[in-house]
Structure 1
């Protein structure tokens, strides 16, 4: 019993002294996620109306920063009431952006970064919940001079060995309408 009492006293002393030591150094860590790389996808932030290639409204999308700027969240609602959400983040260990999209129909998980032209391009897979099939998938977001953003998705078809357009949309900020 005596050994356990000594161990408890030592653990308590350590628990008290470590925070005190950290506070006494006087240095505060820099705020998280403030480097330029964490802002490469900022052109996508906002409240958006999204139109398909035919110009008809496809839905609304809200893209916001969260977790002190370390995360970008997406909340999508299409005109039929379907929804989806994504989490987007820059990983400083890999130097890549990652998006994980989840909807009732599919999961998209892909990584990438800025291209030489300034678009954000991600590559990975799409998995469909209904039949658990997965295919290579790409997404690209291109900022346009008028403040809109073009989003272009493609899925690989192993039967034809071709990439097919999955969705192309034009994002226009709601406050710009």
Structure 2
């Protein structure tokens, strides 16, 4: 009896091992002929935002620094924000082929933002969704990142106010690339 039980267990295992080997061969062949993921449009639509940035508010004062990096073979843009007053936040930005839209998920101690969209006719990235505050309040929210001719990027956020039925400015900032010499001077 025990021999039959082991024999019956051994046969499926041999089939499973053979199936796994065939799958490995198919996977390696597919990876050799498959195009590199996340290349070309629309995956490069938000690349204008990648870099190390000083961010100023409308008054010209430093609002903070933002490090925007391309990760996961160009499939993900990661934002790491540090405000002038010490606040922090991070976002994951990616093109979602299922939605055929760009998405951003922002997480900070005070709120999360989840929104989606894409480039408008002027070449700005426009995303719309919701901001959810840690206290439980949730509001419609939208953001716009506009590349400027001088290489800077203007970022503008608006939150919908249901009491006034108006979109209120939430934050507006101008991103300017941190030059290597600027960074060295600030650490000396």
Task: State the SS of the aligned residue for 1:33.
Answer: coil
Cα 1:141–1:15 change in 2 (3 A) is same
- Counterpart CA distance in 1 for 2:89 and 2:17 is 47
**Equivalent residues in 2 for 1:54-73 (5 A)?**
54-73=59-78
1:158 maps to which residue? 162
The alignment status of 1:76 with 2:81, answered yes or no, reads yes
- Counterpart CA distance in 1 for 2:44 and 2:31 is 29
- Counterpart CA distance in 1 for 2:82 and 2:143 is 18
Q: Normalising by structure 2, what TM-score?
A: 0.89
Which stretch of structure 1 is more off in the superposition, 161-170 or 25-34? 25-34
Q: Normalising by structure 1, what TM-score?
A: 0.94
Which stretch of structure 1 is more off in the superposition, 88-97 or 113-122? 88-97
**Equivalent residues in 2 for 1:26-105 (5 A)?**
27-105=32-110
What's the CA shift for 1:72?
0.1
C-alpha distance after superposition, 1:79-135 (max 9, x if no partner): 111100000000122210000000001000000000001100000000001x11100
Cα 1:28–1:167 change in 2 (3 A) is same
Gaps of 5+ in 2: 183-188
RMSD value, Cα: 1.6
Task: State the SS of the aligned residue for 1:170.
Answer: strand
**Equivalent residues in 2 for 1:116-135 (5 A)?**
116-129=121-134, 131-135=135-139
What's the CA shift for 1:21?
4.3
Moved over 4 A (4+): 21-27
Larger Rg: 2
Cα 1:26–1:79 change in 2 (3 A) is closer
1:108 maps to which residue? 113
**Equivalent residues in 2 for 1:162-177 (5 A)?**
162-175=166-179
What's the CA shift for 1:17?
2.4
